[in-house]
């Protein structure tokens, strides 16, 4: 004979377990995408929600910002330089319904989209731009990612290029280029100094030519400066016109 008492106990246990499985607790940063018999029903949460077993299924979605590393990508710049670039992107789910329904795996999809966009955008720029204009490149990549991932209910808030790695030969070439640039600037500065000095000397010569007393004072000042040296012998040329002025 069947033990109806045992059967009743099992039945009650199953009922309690079924009722317990109906209640789900979602944290403040979580949402539950509910499907009714395979069709989208609604988005629930946060807090305590009820999911009817068998008839309803729930998919949890985290709304917090995701920090995702973009794997190192081999990029050929517009000036045919091979570099390795990696980056990090910050994004979050704004629409849980689209993030679950419109794409199979929004995390993997965002990662793949980031890799292809990184190669595409950087490949349109020269190496100097990659090294000197990272802020602009970050903004361009972020704008493209945000626009393309909008259909998935995802908001890309920021993109940061972390490293632009060059091979040893390219590093040496850049170092030589930087050294040549420093030499060029030094020569330009020296030439500008010589030009300014020549202009000042020309102005001084005009003043001395117009003012006879000025040239006499200049001779005397030079004589005092030379006399201050420790040398015992002093040879100083005196212009004839200066002697004539002194005689008079």
Question: What pLDDT sits at residue 26?
Answer: 95
Answer for the pair 23, 45: CB distance below 8 angstroms, yes or no: no
- Domain 66-166, CATH among 3.30.479.30, 3.40.630.10, 3.20.20.80, 2.40.160.50: 3.30.479.30
Res 141 pLDDT > 50: yes
The mean-pLDDT minimum among 45-54, 102-111, 217-226 falls in: 217-226
Percent of the chain scoring above 70 in pLDDT: 75
**Alpha helix segments (H runs only) across 56-211:** 96-101, 106-122, 127-132, 134-149, 168-210
Res 218 pLDDT > 90: no
Please, how many CA atoms are within 13 Å of residue 242, restricted to the half-sphere of its CB? 12
The structure tokens listed for 183 are: 């030499």
Compare 37 and 240 and report the one with higher pLDDT: 37
Res 11 pLDDT > 80: no
Question: What pLDDT sits at residue 244?
Answer: 57
Kind and range of the H or E element at 242?
Answer: helix 240-247
Question: What pLDDT sits at residue 170?
Answer: 63
Kind and range of the H or E element at 218?
Answer: helix 212-227
- The residue-averaged pLDDT of 55-72 equals 94
Question: What pLDDT sits at residue 2?
Answer: 46
- The residue-averaged pLDDT of 9-26 equals 81
Res 148 pLDDT > 90: yes
Res 30 pLDDT > 90: yes
Answer for the pair 63, 96: CB distance below 8 angstroms, yes or no: yes
pLDDT band at 80 (very low <50, low <70, confident <90, very high): confident
Residue-range domain boundaries for the chain? 10-61, 66-166, 172-247
Give per-residue pLDDT as tens, 165-204.
887 766 566 666 777 777 888 888 888 888 888 887 777 7
CA–CA separation, 101 vs 41, rounded Å?
12
pLDDT band at 146 (very low <50, low <70, confident <90, very high): very high
- The residue-averaged pLDDT of 29-52 equals 94
Query: How many helices (H) and strands (E) would you count in the chain?
Result: 8, 8
Question: What pLDDT sits at residue 164?
Answer: 87
């Amino acid at each position: 004979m069947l033990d109806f008492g045992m059967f009743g106990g099992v039945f009650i246990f199953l009922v309690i377990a079924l009722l317990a499985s109906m209640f789900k607790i979602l944290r403040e940063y979580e949402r539950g995408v509910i499907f009714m018999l395979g069709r989208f029903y609604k988005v629930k949460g946060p807090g305590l929600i009820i999911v009817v077993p068998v008839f309803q299924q729930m998919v949890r979605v985290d709304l917090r910002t995701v920090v995702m590393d973009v794997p190192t990508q081999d990029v050929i710049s517009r000036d045919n330089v091979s570099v390795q670039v990696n980056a990090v992107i910050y994004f979050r789910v704004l629409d849980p319904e689209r993030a679950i329904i419109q794409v199979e795996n929004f995390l993997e999809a965002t990662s793949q989209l980031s890799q292809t966009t990184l190669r595409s955008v950087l490949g349109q720029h020269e190496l100097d731009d990659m090294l000197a204009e990272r802020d602009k490149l970050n903004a361009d990549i972020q704008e493209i990612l945000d626009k393309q991932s909008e259909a998935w209910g995802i908001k890309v808030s920021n993109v940061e290029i972390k490293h632009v790695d060059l091979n040893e030969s390219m590093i040496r070439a850049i170092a030589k280029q930087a050294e040549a640039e420093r030499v060029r600037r030094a020569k330009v500065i020296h030439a500008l100094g010589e030009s300014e000095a020549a202009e000042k000397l020309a102005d001084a010569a005009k003043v001395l030519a117009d003012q006879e007393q000025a040239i006499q004072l200049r001779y005397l000042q030079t004589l005092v400066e030379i006399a201050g040296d420790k040398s015992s012998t002093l040879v100083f040329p005196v212009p004839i016109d200066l002697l004539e002025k002194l005689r008079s």
